[in-house]
Structures are given as structure tokens and as C-alpha cells.
């Protein structure tokens, strides 16, 4: 039996349980830091497979670490699992028309129910491989909540949980089967609090000092700042407290949230400092005071190229998911639920990696990714999104895999994605991801020179050690973000 066949048998052994977990977490659909039942589902399943579980790590009640040791416990492989949902994306499973289960309710519009369950299956498969072949090593499953919120992995990394891990493999539901070459950008978020003096806006406006004016002027200043930052950076905001609803009262207290993104963590930090200066200027202009509290920060994410080649080889060897005609038909129905403008945009994007003359025919007949796309080590572009996996990638050699769990071009954070995250398409992609990750892990464990090379690549990137972008005083904003 080949290594792939052996790994595949372990994943198949556990397939029913993996699907059950994915469906239960989809059903729970719990938001960031509230994933009590979702975390427990994974904790109980891992304990049943012989893992020991440490709950509430890094000061986060729904974060946990599950470990299994064989022999000396070296080398150490980590697997990341996520399980938080998104607000407002409740949707009936597998239905290609908008129908909420709970009006305004939550849903797994990013497929984290599949992510957590698939990583569970991968960790168990690696455990089975070590146990049945008498190979030494340790398997760690990191239960990571709140990726859609203020994150958890940077707090886990800051607490030192990745210090003795040799490498980490993870995955994310996608519309493509690939080891992506693009990186993600760094992000920092903060609440800016302005305090002024309340007064009658008609009778005594000269006695008031408007916190709302200060926040508005901060927005104006940041709009001008956008002209003088790099093209890849982003600044966005939202009011969390506009100072009340009475226009005849000078608003004395306002809170506005800002997030700053840039390709590199040092670029993000420099831009954030400029935003703080804009806020100080707005307070000075309005005679108010300003304070700010950093609520979240993620480092940029870059694949470890040494280990990305291993994951890429595993993906090519395992092959893509095998889709049925019914699944192709269902994916096509979901594609047609998007507005025409979105459909045209999807077709344009697909033309970047599918023969332009074949795009429309593909979407009509086979709108699920049926090939594997190897890692391109020369890719230098960035996605404009951010993830707390970036901090793991600065603490330990890390690689992320993408496997199709939705149709080509599917839009993330959508009700369509929620529906597909509890469909045969989603489940099939999830099990394939588990297979590929487990194969890559066992192919890495027995190669100390490869692990050492990956570590050297990491040290060149992080300058010798991981530095968390969050100040030490910032704690997980549970119930505050």
C-alpha cells in the first residue's frame, strides 16, 4: 500500500464522523469568541481519538490545543482548525435560492465548519499513520476561534504555543484546488474615542465641543491621506457610537472604528501611526480629547516556499475531488443566482487561469474545479484580505492549502457560500483537503533536512524571532469586538 493509499484509508475510516462534525458546526453557526458548542464538538471528537485537550488557551475560552504523542514526540506538526461563523448569512443548506433559516441569523459563509472538521480529519489521519507505523512524532490540533473577528492565532502565538512546533499545515475552503502563491496583507484595527462637551446646539452652541465633529474631521483627514499611501494599502472605518440621535445636542462622546491594511506588517504599522496623527489633529481642531485602543492586528501571510512545494506535490498526487453531474448542475445553479454584473466579473477573473475561449463553456457544463494547480514560487502578488494565519506564519513554517468546496468563481462571505458549506460539494472538498494535508505532513515528518531548511527560510523572514504586532497590553477583545 502506498503512503497515499494508507492516508486515504484513514480519512475514509473517519469520513462519517468528519461529515457529522462539519454539519453540526454548520448548524451551530456561532460568531467570533462565542463558539462554545463548535469548540466542544471538536474537543470531544479529538479526545475520542486519543488526543489530550487543553481548553481555554491564550485566555480565550473557545480556543484549545489537542495533542497526540508517539515515542519521543519529535518532530512536531501543527494543524489549524477554525469554526466561527458570520452574521447575517443564515441560509438553507444546498438550496440555490435565498431562504434564511433564521431571519437575520448567522451562517458559515466562509466555510469554517468545513475548515475545522477537515483539519480534524487530517490530524487524526496523521496520528493513525504514526501509531500504525511505529513512527515517532507529535500531532497538535490548534482550535482557533474568531478568525472573522479580532482573531485568536496572534494571541496563541504571543503566548508561545507555536515555539516548539516544527511546521504547520492548514487549509481553507475555496473554489480552486491549489497551493496559492499570493500572500495576504497585514491589518491593524482600533477604536478611536473622542470626548467633548455637551451643550444645546441651538441655544448655546459656542459652549459645546463636538466629538462627532472630531470623528468627521478624522474621516476627512484620512480621505486626504489615501492619496499619499501605497496603492496596495487600505483604510476603512465604521461608527460604533455616533454620539446619540438628538441633533439639538452637541455630541460629547463618539467612537469610530478604523482598520488599516498594507502588504507588510511594518508598512501597516507606519500607516496606522499616520492615522493616529490624523485623529490627534481632528481633536485639536475641535477642542476635544482623543484616545484610542488597539483591538486587533494580524501580520501579513506568506507561504513557506520550502514546505509549499511538499504540499503542492501532495495535492498533485492526491488529485482533485471527483465531481458528479448532479454536483456540476448544482454549482451552475448557484452561479446563476448572482446578478449579471457579478457573473460577468466572475467570468473575467476565470479567464486569468482558464483559456478565455473555454470559460463560458466551462461554467455551463463543468463549473467545479476539476484540476490541481501547483504552487508557483515566483508569485509576488498580494490578496487584499487579511488573516490571523499570518502570525502563525511568522512564528513557525506554515503552508495553507486551498481545495474546492464551491463552484468556480463563487463569492465568499455570501449566502451561496453558506448553502454550499453544507452540501455534498462542500463535504467532498473537505475530505480531499484532509487527505492532502495528512499526506503532506507524513511526507515532511521523516525529512529533518527539509524541516531545517524551512526553519531557515522562516528565520530570514522574521529576523530571528516572532514579534506580535499587538502591544502586550492588548488582550482578546471577547465581547468587545
pLDDT tens, position by position, 51-87: 999 999 999 999 999 999 999 999 999 999 999 999 9
Considering the domain boundaries, does residue 323 fall inside one? yes
Host domain of residue 456: 3-184+300-462
Question: 310 and 261 in one domain?
Answer: no
Question: 161 and 196 in one domain?
Answer: no
Q: Are 186 and 301 in contact (CB under 8 A)?
A: no
Name the pLDDT band for 286 (thresholds 50, 70, 90): very high
Q: What is the pLDDT of residue 383?
A: 87
Paired residues of 200 in beta bridges: 249
Other beta carbons less than 10 A from residue 219's beta carbon: 16
106 Cα distance to chain centroid: 17
Considering the domain boundaries, does residue 470 fall inside one? no
Model confidence pLDDT, tens digit, residues 210-225: 999 999 999 999 999 9
Mean confidence (pLDDT) of the chain: 96
Exposed/middle/buried for residue 449 (C-beta within 10 Å: 0-12, 13-18, 19+): exposed
* Spatial distance between the Cα atoms of 111 and 143, rounded to a whole number of angstroms: 15
Question: 166 and 105 in one domain?
Answer: yes
Considering the domain boundaries, does residue 242 fall inside one? yes
Q: What's the residue count for the chain?
A: 481
Question: 197 and 142 in one domain?
Answer: no
Residue 305: name the closest of 141, 142, 456 by CA. 456
Question: 310 and 423 in one domain?
Answer: yes
3-state secondary structure of 44: helix
Can you tell me the mean pLDDT for 169-188? 97
Considering the domain boundaries, does residue 479 fall inside one? no
Q: What is the pLDDT of residue 355?
A: 87
Q: What is the pLDDT of residue 352?
A: 86
Check the CA dihedral 117-119-122-123 and report its sign.
negative
Paired residues of 124 in beta bridges: none
Residue 293: in which H helix or E strand, if any?
strand 289-298
Q: What is the pLDDT of residue 366?
A: 95
Q: Does pLDDT of 357 surpass 90? A: no
Write the secondary structure of 209-256 as one string of H (helix), E (strand) and C (coil). ECHHHHHHHHHHHHHHHHHHCCCCCEEEEEEEECCCCCCCECCCEEEE
Considering the domain boundaries, does residue 7 fall inside one? yes
Question: 406 and 336 in one domain?
Answer: yes
Question: 361 and 429 in one domain?
Answer: yes
Can you tell me the mean pLDDT for 264-286? 97
Question: 87 and 72 in one domain?
Answer: yes
Question: 192 and 159 in one domain?
Answer: no
Q: Which residues neighbour 336 within 8 Å (Cβ) at sequence distance 6 or greater?
A: 96, 343
More confident residue, 180 or 352: 180
Structurally, how many domains does the chain consist of? 2
Q: What is the pLDDT of residue 348?
A: 93
Q: What is the pLDDT of residue 437?
A: 98
Model confidence pLDDT, tens digit, residues 376-434: 999 989 888 899 999 999 999 999 999 999 999 999 999 999 999 999 999 999 999 99
122 Cα distance to chain centroid: 18
Question: 130 and 66 in one domain?
Answer: yes
Question: 452 and 311 in one domain?
Answer: yes
Considering the domain boundaries, does residue 472 fall inside one? no
Model confidence pLDDT, tens digit, residues 449-474: 999 999 999 999 999 999 999 999 99
CATH number of the domain that residue 447 is part of: 3.40.630.10
Which residue do the cell numbers 490530524 mark?
123
Q: What is the pLDDT of residue 88?
A: 97
Furthest CA-CA distance within the chain: 86
Residue ending a domain, choose from 235, 268, 297: 297
Model confidence pLDDT, tens digit, residues 84-134: 999 999 999 999 999 999 999 999 999 999 999 999 999 999 999 999 999
Which residue do the cell numbers 466551462 mark?
362
Amino acid at each position: 500500500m502506498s503512503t497515499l493509499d494508507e492516508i486515504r484509508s484513514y480519512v475514509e475510516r473517519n469520513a462519517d464522523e468528519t461529515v457529522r462534525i462539519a454539519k453540526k458546526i454548520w448548524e451551530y453557526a456561532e460568531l467570533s469568541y462565542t463558539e462554545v458548542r463548535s469548540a466542544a464538538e471538536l474537543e470531544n471528537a479529538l479526545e475520542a481519538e486519543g488526543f489530550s485537550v487543553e481548553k481555554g488557551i491564550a485566555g480565550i475560552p473557545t480556543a484549545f490545543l489537542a495533542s497526540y504523542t508517539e515515542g519521543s514526540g519529535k518532530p512536531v506538526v501543527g494543524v489549524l482548525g477554525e469554526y466561527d461563523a458570520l452574521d447575517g448569512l443564515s441560509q438553507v443548506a444546498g438550496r440555490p435560492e435565498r431562504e434564511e433559516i433564521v431571519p437575520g441569523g448567522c451562517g458559515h459563509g466562509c466555510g469554517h465548519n468545513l475548515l475545522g472538521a477537515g483539519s480534524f480529519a487530517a490530524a487524526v489521519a496523521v496520528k493513525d499513520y504514526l501509531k500504525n507505523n511505529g513512527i515517532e512524532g507529535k500531532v497538535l490540533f490548534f482550535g482557533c476561534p474568531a478568525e472573522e473577528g479580532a482573531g485568536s492565532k496572534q494571541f496563541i502565538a504571543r503566548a508561545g504555543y507555536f515555539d516548539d512546533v516544527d511546521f504547520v499545515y492548514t487549509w481553507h475552503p475555496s473554489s480552486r484546488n491549489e497551493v496559492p502563491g499570493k500572500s495576504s496583507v497585514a491589518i491593524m484595527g482600533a477604536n478611536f474615542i473622542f470626548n467633548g462637551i455637551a451643550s444645546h446646539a441651538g441655544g448655546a452652541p459656542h459652549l459645546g465641543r463636538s466629538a462627532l465633529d472630531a470623528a468627521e474631521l478624522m474621516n476627512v483627514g484620512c480621505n486626504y491621506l489615501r492619496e499619499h499611501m501605497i496603492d496596495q494599502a487600505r483604510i476603512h472605518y465604521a461608527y460604533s457610537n455616533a454620539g446619540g440621535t438628538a441633533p439639538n445636542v452637541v455630541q460629547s462622546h463618539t467612537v469610530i472604528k478604523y482598520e488599516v491594511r498594507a502588504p507588510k506588517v511594518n508598512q501597516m504599522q507606519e500607516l496606522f501611526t499616520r492615522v493616529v496623527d490624523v485623529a490627534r489633529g481632528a481633536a485639536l481642531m475641535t477642542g476635544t480629547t482623543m484616545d484610542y485602543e488597539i483591538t486587533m492586528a494580524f501580520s501579513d501571510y506568506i507561504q513557506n516556499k520550502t514546505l509549499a512545494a511538499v504540499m503542492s506535490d501532495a495535492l498533485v498526487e492526491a488529485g482533485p475531488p471527483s465531481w458528479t453531474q448532479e454536483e456540476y448542475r448544482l454549482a451552475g445553479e448557484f452561479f446563476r443566482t448572482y446578478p449579471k454584473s457579478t457573473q460577468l466579473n466572475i467570468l473575467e477573473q476565470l479567464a486569468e487561469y482558464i483559456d478565455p475561449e473555454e470559460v463560458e463553456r466551462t461554467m455551463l457544463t463543468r463549473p467545479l474545479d476539476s484540476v490541481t494547480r501547483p504552487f508557483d514560487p515566483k508569485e509576488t502578488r498580494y490578496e487584499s484580505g487579511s488573516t490571523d494565519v499570518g502570525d502563525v506564519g511568522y512564528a513557525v513554517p506554515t503552508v495553507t492549502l486551498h481545495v474546492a468546496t464551491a463552484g468556480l468563481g463563487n463569492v465568499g462571505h455570501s449566502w451561496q457560500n453558506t448553502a454550499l458549506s453544507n452540501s455534498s460539494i462542500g463535504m467532498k472538498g473537505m475530505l480531499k483537503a484532509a487527505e492532502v494535508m495528512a499526506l503532506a505532513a507524513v511526507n515532511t515528518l521523516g525529512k529533518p533536512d527539509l524541516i531545517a531548511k524551512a526553519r531557515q527560510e522562516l528565520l530570514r523572514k522574521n529576523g530571528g524571532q516572532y514579534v506580535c504586532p499587538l502591544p502586550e497590553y492588548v488582550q482578546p477583545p471577547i465581547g468587545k469586538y
